[in-house]
Amino acid sequence: MTKISTYAIDIVKSENTKINEVDFNNLVFGRTFTDHMFYCDYIDGEWQQPKIVPYGPMTIDPSARVFHYGQAVFEGMKAYKDEDDNVFLFRPDENFKRINKSASRLAIPKFPEHYFFEGLYTLLNLDRDWIKTGKGNSLYIRPFVIATESAISASPANSYRFMIICSPAKAYYTDRVRVLFAEKYSRSADGGVGFAKAAGNYAAQFYPTGLAQKKGFQQIIWTDANSHKYLEEAGTMNIFFRINDTLITAPNNDRILDGVTRKSVIQLAKDLNIKCEVRRVSVDEIKEASKNGSLKEIFGAGTAAVISPISAFEHAGSVFEISEVDDSYAILFKTKLLNIQHNLTDDKHGWRYEVK
């Protein structure tokens, strides 16, 4: 368990809370926001004094470069509360490192570590009541940075705004999902920004995902852009395959996001002596495994969904159903992760950070 001290920060508290207007039993993901937000501006080559203010609209010029050239990156994190009202984060150091890695790829200045944790911890303490106890309940945290300079010349901006907003959440996917293996469209390409949480990566997914949804599939499992022969990611998640008792996932590269949940699942597999192979996974291999009965499970792994089991996939016009198994790895890993996140079990890897 790690504790991080906070620094001075300018705070303007909300005069009225919205919390009493919220039905926490019927939340739509990402539609309800807490009382406060954090922001910090980058001006004249320096990050300025960070601030926390009441959540609300902000004014930005129509010529702000983010609207025209897409300089925008973000992160996804969660805060959890145990039965004693203690609040925890799960591996926030990884999110901090990744947002700066994403920022560097988009020519955005790195954000200072002490400002990041200062803003995050102060914000969570102000809106602590929005974090509800119980497995499946959490506060989704969205740090992001956008280019704010007013100019439409095609070059990196000189000014930026780093922000953190928070949204109470329940389970993202509650049922097993059906997916489509990509044959034409690509999420990212070699040498691109697939490894970064760049806003444009997700915008580019919406159209092909919409086509898949019209066919009755919730998500797409993306294949490599060169040949469409190798499986890489599932929608907004990393992807795992279980063939017999071996867990398989694609290796990180400049097309695949280095998921925090992904690396946690790989470590838990090692802890449980489950064989885990990090290697290229071909479409043909998974189709053949489905046909001969050795494909036991496919599941996605990500912050919002944690673990999302897949019930069927389609490729080249053929649908392959995946039966549920009694010894589900998906259920096992989800239970292990939720128990660590909600302070219900030991945390031998030091992933859980207490918010003081």
pLDDT per position as a tens digit, 177-204 = 999 999 999 999 999 999 999 999 999 9
Q: Rounded CA gap, 55 and 33, in Å?
A: 8
Q: Is 6 a residue whose pLDDT tops 60?
A: no
304-323: burial string, b at 16+ Cβ within 10 Å, e else: bbbbbbbebbbbeeeebebe
CA-to-CA distance for 212 and 220, rounded, in angstroms?
A: 7
What contacts 16, CB < 8 A, 6 or more positions away?
A: none
Rounded (5°) CA angle 106-110-111: 130
- Predicted confidence at residue 171, as pLDDT, reads 74
Above 70 in pLDDT, residue 173?
A: no
On the 0-12 / 13-18 / 19+ scale of CB atoms within 10 A, 138 is buried
Angle between helices 92-105 and 260-271 (to 10 degrees): 140
Note the pLDDT of residue 7. Answer: 59
Is residue 19 classed exposed, middle or buried when 0-12, 13-18 and 19+ CB atoms within 10 A define those classes?
middle
Got the DSSP string for 29-75?
TTS---SEEEEEEEETTEE---EEEES------TTBHHHHH--EEE-
Statement: residue 175 has pLDDT above 90: no
Integer Cα distance of 325 and 1 in angstroms: 34
Cα-trace Rg, the chain = 21
The string of pLDDT tens digits covering residues 297-339 is 999 999 988 999 999 999 999 999 999 999 999 999 999 999 9
The pLDDT value recorded for residue 1 is: 44
Query: What is the pLDDT, as a whole number, of residue 235?
Result: 81
Q: Provide the mean pLDDT of the chain.
A: 95
- CB atoms under 10 Å from CB of 175, counted, come to 10
Q: Which pLDDT band, with edges at 50, 70 and 90, does 96 fall under?
A: very high
pTM of the model: 0.95
**Residues 259-299: tens digit of each pLDDT:** 999 999 999 999 999 999 999 999 999 999 999 999 999 99
Q: For the segment 45-71, what is each residue's pLDDT rounded down to a tens digit?
A: 999 999 999 999 999 999 999 999 999
